[in-house]
Amino acid sequence: MKLQAVLPLVTYPDPNSDKVAVNAVAVARQLAASLHAVAVNVDIPPVSSALSRVLLDVPALAREAERLSHERGRHLLAAVEEQAGKAGIALTTEEMAAAPAMLGEGVARAARYFDFALIGWEGRNPGSRIIAEAVVFGSGRPTILMPDLGDFPVLDHVAIAWDGSRVAARAAADARPLLDKASKISVLTVQDEKPLAESGIGERFAERLRKIGLPAEAHGVSAKGHPIGVALQDHALKAGANLLVMGGYGHSRVRDFVLGGATQGVLDELRLPVLLSH
């Protein structure tokens, strides 16, 4: 069965860069997946206050923001269409619109109908973070965060952050299409961040992967006082990995996301592609 990946395209308040089209098509090709690109446009509710018209003409500002959002969305969809055509990737497109506070929620619902979500990660783009958190914690689908790295890497060396938890197991299972294509898998277990349920859990998981024919090796990681998200990315990069797979720790509290330390560290400074699964 052919996999299907969804690509939400951020248009508000700042749009994704055009590089998101190149990166998403590269990932879709490696997953052997079709791609569904969604321009996520803003629809700002009317403001009824008479004072807002006198002082700032808020309705006019809102309409201009909506116009720019839709314009950026069409531009990004065209960029994805161009890249997908060059790569021979099957593509469908869609535009959706919602109020600013509901953008993430709408995208999370849409992502539930696909196998993977791909998100162009730009640390200084607030819309990118809102969409990413909503999809990771609200869609029930594995989400690949794609930083703007220049040439997007071949995801053939996969690092798995393993602590024996439910979310780590879920992430590893969700990453199976990529693990099956990997030439090397590094199982990373942080030894000095929190008590582990038992010793040797990294090697135990690596052995399980080897039994099903996957090239896995276990590695102990020392955080050395650094945030766990930083330590995992550092070790993954030093090992030569080009994708980090990890469970997304956190929960939503009326649309305010309370993140676990590892997830927070990765989102604060994304240095390589990361598959997050909750």
Q: Is residue 112 part of a domain?
A: yes
Task: Round to whole Å and give the CA distance between 214 and 211.
Answer: 7
DSSP 199-227: TTHHHHHHHHHHHTT--EEEEEE--TTS-
Number of alpha helices (DSSP H) and beta strands (DSSP E) in the chain: 10, 12
Q: Are residues 169 and 271 in the same domain?
A: yes
Name the domain count of the chain.
2
pLDDT in tens, 15-62: 999 999 999 999 999 999 999 999 999 998 876 655 555 555 677 788
Q: Are residues 85 and 189 in the same domain?
A: no
Q: Residue 191's pLDDT is what?
A: 85
Q: Are residues 103 and 232 in the same domain?
A: no
Distances from the Cα of 110 to the Cαs of 71, 90, 106, 152, 246, in angstroms? 21, 19, 6, 26, 23
Q: What is the CATH number of the domain that holds 103?
A: 3.40.50.620
Q: Is residue 210 part of a domain?
A: yes
Q: Are residues 15 and 120 in the same domain?
A: yes
Which residues contact residue 120 at a Cβ distance below 8 angstroms, ignoring those fewer than 6 apart? 9, 10, 16, 17, 19, 20, 23, 24, 128, 146, 148
Q: Are residues 142 and 41 in the same domain?
A: yes
Q: Are residues 128 and 168 in the same domain?
A: no
Using the 3D structure, point to which of 147, 180, 212 is the last residue of a domain.
147
Q: Is residue 152 part of a domain?
A: no
Q: Are residues 95 and 180 in the same domain?
A: no
Task: Round to whole Å and give the CA distance between 93 and 75.
Answer: 12
Q: Are residues 143 and 168 in the same domain?
A: no
Using the 3D structure, point to which of 120, 147, 174 is the last residue of a domain.
147
Task: Round to whole Å and give the CA distance between 157 and 147.
Answer: 17
Task: Round to whole Å and give the CA distance between 134 and 278.
Answer: 11
The pTM (predicted TM-score) of the whole model is: 0.90
Using the 3D structure, point to which of 106, 124, 147 is the last residue of a domain.
147
Comparing CA positions, the residue from 139, 113, 127 lying closest to residue 69 is 127
Q: Are residues 140 and 224 in the same domain?
A: no
93 lies in which domain range?
Answer: 3-147
Residue type, 58: V
pLDDT in tens, 84-122: 999 999 999 999 999 998 999 999 999 999 999 999 998
Compute the 3-state secondary structure of the chain and give helix, strand, coil in percent, each to the nearest 5. Answer: 40, 25, 30
